[in-house]
Amino acid sequence: MPTRDTANLVGMSVSALEPETAFARLAALVDGRRVVALTGAGMSTDSGIPDYRGPDSPPRNPMTYQQFMGDAAFRRHYWARNHLGWRFMDATVPNAGHRALAALERSGTVTGVLTQNVDLLHTKAGSRAVVDLHGSYAQVRCMTCEHRVSRISLAERLTAANPGFAESVSAATGVEIAPDADAVIEETAHFRVVDCDRCGGILKPDIVYFGESVPKPRVAAAYAMVDAADLVLVLGSSLTVMSGLRFVRHAAKHGTPVAIVNRGATRGDEFATVKLDAGCSQTLTALGAHP
């Protein structure tokens, strides 16, 4: 439960706060509360994974569920790019923000993490109570028989079907990595896609695409975390998509304070008790060191 006089911070205006003042209010809100963190792409930018909507991010058009399932050309284009990009994500390591959040869980302050990211960096950093809202890059699912395989096992099949592809593309153009384990390449017409080796169905990353719904059991687990918390701390998310914004709205509706740490405006700013325009790593590291 809240300690000191932090309860009187609930409902304060978040406009025109100096960074030092905003951080002091954030630290006061966190103090003595059970905190559930809701993280977005801005949480992982310090690990070298780009985001979709940050202030310095180039325009990006992620593939939708309808495109992937409805057009073999889209699937070929996706798997060619992912065949290069997933290895980069697999090799990425947690940053100071991930480690600080895991430390706050070990200390009992953070009770859970809801993440919109698919990079598994919270788990790699040592966080245990993690709900991967959008799934992860590390698994692939058959859309017909529901059989799941690891991404590395699929990589072996794709490499066998496309010998020399990765080496030839990298040598010719270099590889720019985009979000969601994707690589920015254009020449994919000759890439060969493989199907489920059990039933011949379409294989899809076990990731929730734009236009696709988060599985209901996952949503229920996330709501349970929010209901058990005294504070929702949004980290590095613009809350543009409803999969994250709904938890902020739910918390606000039930009187649970919301704090937001993000570079730039978010769709949840109107619900925030405290808003800090700052990076996640520096803020969480400072929170961890705060007396």
Q: List, as residue ranges, the binding site.
A: 40-60, 116-119, 142, 145, 196, 199, 236-238, 262-264, 280
Strands 148-150 and 135-142, sheet pairing = antiparallel
Cβ within 8 Å of residue 203, ≥6 positions away = 140, 141, 142, 143, 154, 193, 194, 195, 196
Start-end of H helices in the chain: 19-30, 65-70, 72-91, 96-106, 121-125, 151-161, 165-173, 216-227, 242-253, 280-289
Name residue 203's beta-bridge partners: 142
Q: Does residue 237 contact residue 210 with C-beta atoms inside 8 Å?
A: no
DSSP character for 176? E
Taking a C-beta distance cutoff of 8 angstroms, is the pair 273, 257 a contact? yes
User: Using CA atoms, how far apart are residues 291 and 288, in angstroms rounded to an integer?
Assistant: 8
Q: Which among 122, 134, 147, 254 is annotated as catalytic?
A: 134
- Could you list the residues known to form a binding site for Zn(2+), using ranges: 142, 145, 196, 199
Q: What are phi and psi of 258, to 5 degrees?
A: -125, 130
134 is catalytic: yes
* Cα distance between residue 222 and residue 184, in whole Å: 32
Cross-strand bridge partners of residue 113: 37, 130
Distance CA 43, CA 115 (A): 9
- Among candidate residues 168, 224, 225, the one with its CA nearest the CA of residue 191: 168
Residues carrying an active site annotation: 134
